[in-house]
């Protein structure tokens, strides 16, 4: 089962995408996008994982060693989470504005272009 964790990441990405496509509510679509993006966290962390290796943080009881999980992908995941949070905030703010302007957050009812 060496690809199991990667498959979970791919499944999250695709499930989120399906949720966005089937969405009848913009807030629901934003949540689906977050789920899609969490697939990338799982993928990054799965790439960096090593069986039985501890976290890449050293202390008085754990002398520095390279036998730890990959810190580079963990730092990338941190960036990923920050970007995800800011995108979510921005899209929710846009959803509020769309609700104010059009009185609906159903993407299917937002087909008309308005100047």
Partner 1 sequence: MSRAVRWWVLGAGTAGVGLVLLLAFLQMPSFGSSHHPYRDAAVPAAVAHGTANVVGSVTFDQRGIDTLGEEAIFFGSVLAVLVLLRPEDEEEPRPEEGSLAPLQSTRLFGYLLLPLSLITGLDIVAHGHVTPGGGFQGGIMLATALHLVYVAGRYRSLEQLRPMPLFESGEAAGVAAFTALGFAGIAVTGSFLANFLPYGTFGQILSAGTVPLLNIAVGVAVGSGGIVLLGQFFTQVFLADREKGSGS
Q: Provide the binding-site residues for partner 1, judged by CB under 8 A.
A: 1-7, 10, 13-14, 17-18, 21-22, 46-51, 53, 55-60, 64-75, 78-79, 81-83, 85-87, 89-90, 92-94, 96-97, 100, 103
Q: For residue 41, which of 2, 86, 84, 4 has the smallest C-alpha distance?
A: 84
Closest separation between CB of residue 1 and partner 1, Å? Answer: 8
Closest separation between CB of residue 6 and partner 1, Å? Answer: 4
Closest separation between CB of residue 87 and partner 1, Å? Answer: 7
Calpha distance 32→26 (Å, rounded): 10
Calpha distance 115→102 (Å, rounded): 12
């Amino acid at each position: 089962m060496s690809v199991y964790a990667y498959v979970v990441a791919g499944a999250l990405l695709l499930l989120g995408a399906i949720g966005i496509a089937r969405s009848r509510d913009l807030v629901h679509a934003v949540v689906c996008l977050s789920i899609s993006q969490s697939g990338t966290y799982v993928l990054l962390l799965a790439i960096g994982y090593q069986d039985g290796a501890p976290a890449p943080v050293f202390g008085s009881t754990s002398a520095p060693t390279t036998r730890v999980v990959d810190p580079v992908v963990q730092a990338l995941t941190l960036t990923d989470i920050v970007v995800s949070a800011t995108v979510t905030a921005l899209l929710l703010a846009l959803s509020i504005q769309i609700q104010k302007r059009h009185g609906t957050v159903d993407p299917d009812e937002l087909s008309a272009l308005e100047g």
